[in-house]
């Protein structure tokens, strides 16, 4: 009998505590707990940031590290198919260039985010679609046509070696794509439509579907392709159609779909090269949802799914996305969760610090508030009041050393005052802003703060920039556009601002400590009064806005993509923290006030340490 060390290259060690960073295949005996341990494989779907636009029956390619979805049917009924497309970067979705011809693909796509194929499809206004479009990571271009129109087909492979088989109307034909043109392959054994597929052109699986009238509503049958011939293989446990698939012929996954009833399902099955077994359920039952639908060279753990229909009959579209994780790690998806309750209700308030060490102050109504409280990541406690009641001012710093500057005071005074927080009390600073304003974008530290834009005493938006160095405010270069009540964060030398009023827009502005530059545009116009968090101009979030916006968007220095939404939409609010640990405090939707806090936590990964029997 072979020794464990000979099999895996290392022996079983005896330890008193678990290793801090165990490796795949490593096994140890924890003498303190008296158990044999190793890293166990977990299979689970986790929520991901939603698509920007609800759709179903779209085409998709790529994986959860970089995907592309295009076209499909929109939420509103009608003959037109969408032409919009979105890219997925592993954190969220962002808009990309449109496909040339909108179609209902229901699959019919394969490849990677930078080399994808979208072929055939259906549109009521142009039903016989044979067009092929290639996506290069930026734009779509037409390639050679298919020999026959089809949609809802099995699909697999890459942009230089792909295939589409079967399809609607029910058929047995196979077509293979070689990078620019299509050739005929051998026919499938069964006359099916609404099938799903995975794998490569020479090692593919076609799964489920429905045949001609009189056939089962949803088949359990699977067929395997070796590049030449289709053969019938092991059947799935649950018959399904309009499902999605990903992975390879030796480790593949089918998930979702429509099952007899009819009903959408959230069930998935894993194929290990010999048989199918039930795997983790999705959080949302769906069919006609696509993400990593072609497999190609991607592993099962790279699968994601987005959009689709949640039930037959009514147009129950969803923008929800999920990722499938099969690894020795347990992955917790990014999400907002309820935090502590603020002791007083307000909107147009201000906060600075971090998610676990913050100060919140000011706001209204009634009138202007001078209230100040501290937050420890769990609950709030009262602190000494501001010296001057104010709202919609700028803030910078930490729970131990911060500033509040500007804002509006009754009766309509545009404040230039700076108030200093030393960790225990507020005092008036001798260094005031050069320009009294409110609704500005602010960020930075107690010795390097930034104030940008705002509203001038005449009621018009400003493009004024001011910098604080701990010993006074100096004028910086003006913004290219005037704006107030936007959302922004970062540092004095690496800041971003987005949204806001005058007029409400989606433009992002970035500041490097000297000059302003235009950055990527927000996906969703969130209006005025949103909040932001972020470390610098390459890493930030914008969330909330008017009227009662729940949308969260993330910025990487170039483009914005979706993130999980707030639990409760709100505007005229405030936020702080980072792109992976953010805080939103109070606010109103847009009138009224709130005491609610929400905390955003980015995706986390932890080793899945599992106990094993010694028997």
What's the pLDDT tens digit per position in 374-387? 999 999 999 999 99
Least confident interval from 77-86, 241-250, 479-488, 553-562 = 77-86
Instruction: Locate 438 and state its tokens.
Output: 């409110």
Locate 364 and state its tokens.
């209204």
- Whether residue 223 has pLDDT greater than 60: yes
Between the alpha carbon of residue 325 and those of residues 56, 63, 256, 415, 594, the distances in Å are: 23, 12, 16, 52, 37
pLDDT band for position 158 (50/70/90)? very high
Task: For the chain, give the mean pLDDT.
Answer: 91
In this structure, the strands spanning 27-30 and 13-15 are: parallel
Q: Average pLDDT of 465-478?
A: 96
Mean pLDDT along residues 208-226: 91
Q: What confidence category does residue 77 fall into, taking pLDDT thresholds of 50, 70 and 90?
A: low
Domain 336-601 maps to which CATH number in 3.90.950.10, 3.40.30.10, 3.40.50.880, 2.120.10.80?
Answer: 2.120.10.80
**pLDDT for the residue 264:** 95
pLDDT value, residue 31 = 83
Residue 313 — left, alpha, or beta (φ > 0 → left; ψ -120 to 50 → alpha)?
left
Is the distance from CB of 208 to CB of 195 less than 8 angstroms? Answer: yes
Specify the pLDDT at position 352: 98
**3 pLDDT exceeds 70?**
no
Indicate if the pLDDT at residue 69 is higher than 70. Answer: yes
Is the pLDDT at 586 greater than 90? The verdict is yes
Look at 197 and 29; give whichever has higher pLDDT: 197
Whole-number pLDDT of residue 76: 67
Greater confidence (505 vs 140) lies with 140
- The whole-number pLDDT of residue 332 equals 84
| CATH topology (fold) of 43-333 | Neuraminidase (2.120.10)
- Domain ranges in the chain? 4-39, 43-333, 336-601
Highest-pLDDT range among 4-8, 21-25, 264-268, 525-529 = 264-268
CB 502 within 8 A of CB 458: no
What per-residue confidence (pLDDT) applies to 314? 67
Q: What is the pLDDT of residue 13?
A: 83
- Tokens 């995907």 locate to 67
* Locus of tokens 């069930």: 267
Q: 395 pLDDT exceeds 60?
A: yes
Q: How much is the pLDDT for 98?
A: 97
79: pLDDT confidence band, cut at 50, 70 and 90? low
Q: How far apart are CA 26 and CA 450, in angstroms?
A: 50
Common-topology check for domains 43-333 and 336-601: yes
Q: Is the pLDDT of residue 35 over 90?
A: no
Per-residue tokens: 277: 């077994």
Q: Which residue has the higher pLDDT, 123 or 468?
A: 468
Q: Please compute the mean of the pLDDT values over residues 205-228 and round it to a whole number.
A: 92
Taking Cα atoms as reference points, which of 410, 237, 307, 288 lies closest to residue 68?
307
The pLDDT value given to residue 614: 60
The predicted-structure confidence for 595-612, as pLDDT tens digits, reads as follows 999 999 998 878 777 777
**Which tokens in the block code for residue 443?**
């960020």
For residue 12, the model assigns a pLDDT of: 81
> What is the rounded distance in angstroms from the CA atom of residue 379 to the CA atom of residue 374?
8
pLDDT tens-digit profile of 322-334?
999 887 777 788 9
User: Is pLDDT above 60 for 9?
Assistant: no
Query: Between β-strands 222-225 and 203-207, what pairing exists: parallel, antiparallel or unpaired?
Result: antiparallel
Q: Provide the 3-class DSSP secondary structure of residue 6.
A: helix
CB 576 within 8 A of CB 535: no
This model's pTM is above 0.85: no
Q: Report the distance separating Cα 404 and Cα 197, nearest Å.
A: 58
Selection from 468, 464, 467, 514 nearest residue 484 by Cα: 464
76-85, 204-213, 344-353: which is most confident: 344-353
Is the separation of the CB atoms in 464 and 484 below 8 Å? no
What is the mean pLDDT of the segment spanning 115-128?
Answer: 88
197 close to 294: Cβ distance less than 8 angstroms: yes
Question: Under 8 Å CB-to-CB from 448, ≥6 apart: which residues?
Answer: 467, 468, 469, 470, 491, 492, 493
CA distance 465 to 477: 6
Q: Is 460 exposed, middle or buried (0-12, 13-18, 19+ CB in 10 A)?
A: exposed
- pLDDT, tens digit (0-9, with 9 covering 90-100), for 282-310: 999 999 998 765 545 567 778 899 999 99
pLDDT > 90 fraction of the chain, expressed in percent and rounded: 73
> What end-to-end distance do the CA atoms of the chain give, in Å?
17
Least confidently predicted of 191-195, 290-294, 485-489: 290-294
């Amino acid at each position: 009998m072979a020794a464990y060390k000979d099999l895996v290259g290392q022996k079983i060690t005896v330890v008193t505590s678990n290793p801090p960073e165990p490796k795949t295949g490593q096994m140890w005996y924890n003498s303190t707990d008296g158990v044999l341990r190793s890293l166990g494989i977990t299979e689970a779907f986790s929520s991901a940031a939603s698509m920007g636009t609800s759709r179903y029956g779209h085409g998709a390619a790529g994986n959860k590290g970089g995907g592309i979805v295009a076209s499909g049917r929109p939420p509103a009924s009608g003959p037109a198919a969408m032409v919009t497309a979105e890219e997925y970067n592993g954190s969220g979705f962002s808009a990309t260039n449109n496909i040339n011809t909108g179609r209902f693909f229901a699959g019919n796509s394969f490849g990677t985010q930078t080399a994808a194929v979208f072929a055939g499809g259906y549109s009521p206004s142009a039903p016989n679609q044979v067009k092929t479009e290639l996506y290069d990571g930026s734009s779509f271009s037409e390639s050679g046509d298919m020999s026959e129109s089809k949609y809802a087909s099995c699909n697999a492979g890459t942009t230089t070696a792909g295939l589409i088989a079967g399809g609607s109307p029910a058929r047995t034909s196979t077509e293979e794509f070689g990078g620019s043109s299509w050739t005929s392959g051998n026919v499938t054994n069964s006359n099916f439509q609404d099938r799903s597929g995975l794998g490569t052109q020479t090692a593919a699986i076609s799964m489920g579907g429905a045949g001609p009238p009189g056939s089962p509503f949803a088949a359990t049958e699977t067929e395997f392709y070796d590049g030449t011939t289709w053969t019938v293989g092991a059947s799935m446990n649950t018959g399904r159609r309009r499902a999605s698939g990903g992975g390879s012929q030796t480790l593949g996954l089918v998930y979702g779909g429509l099952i007899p009833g009819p009903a959408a399902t959230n069930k998935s099955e894993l194929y290990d090269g010999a048989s199918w077994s039930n795997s983790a359920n999705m959080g949302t039952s769906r069919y006609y949802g696509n993400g990593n639908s072609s497999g190609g060279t991607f592993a099962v753990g790279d699968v994601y799914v987005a959009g689709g229909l949640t039930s037959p009959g009514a147009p129950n579209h969803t923008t929800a996305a999920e990722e499938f994780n099969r690894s020795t790690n347990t992955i917790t998806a990014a999400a907002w969760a309820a935090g502590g309750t603020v002791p007083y209700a307000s909107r147009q308030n201000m906060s600075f610090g971090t998610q676990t060490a913050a100060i919140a102050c000011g706001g209204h109504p009634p009138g202007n508030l001078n209230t100040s409280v501290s937050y420890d990541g769990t609950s709030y406690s009262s602190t000494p009041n501001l010296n001057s009641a104010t709202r919609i001012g700028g803030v910078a710093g930490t729970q131990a050393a911060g500033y509040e500057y500007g804002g509006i005071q009754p009766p309509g005074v545009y404040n230039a005052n700076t108030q200093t927080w030393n960790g225990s009390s507020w005092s008036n600073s001798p260094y005031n802003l050069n320009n009294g304003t409110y609704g500005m974008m602010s960020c930075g530290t107690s010795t390097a703060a930034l104030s940008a834009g705002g509203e001038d005493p005449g009621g018009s938006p400003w493009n004024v920039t001011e910098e604080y160095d701990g010993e006074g405010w100096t004028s910086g270069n003006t913004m290219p556009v005037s704006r107030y009540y936007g959302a922004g964060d970062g540092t004095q030398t690496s800041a971003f601002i987005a949204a806001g009023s005058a007029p409400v827009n989606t433009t992002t502005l970035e500041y490097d400590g000297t000059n302003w530059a235009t950055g990527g545009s927000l996906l969703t116009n969130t209006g005025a009064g949103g909040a932001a968090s972020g470390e610098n101009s390459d890493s930030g979030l914008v969330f909330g806005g008017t009227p009662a916006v729940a949308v969260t968007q993330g910025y990487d220095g170039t483009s914005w993509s979706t993130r999980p939404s707030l639990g409760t939409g709100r505007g005229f609010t405030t936020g702080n923290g980072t792109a992976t640990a953010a805080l939103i405090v109070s606010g109103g939707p847009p009138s009224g006030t709130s005491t609610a806090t929400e905390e955003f936590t980015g995706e986390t990964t932890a080793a899945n340490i599992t106990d094993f029997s010694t028997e």
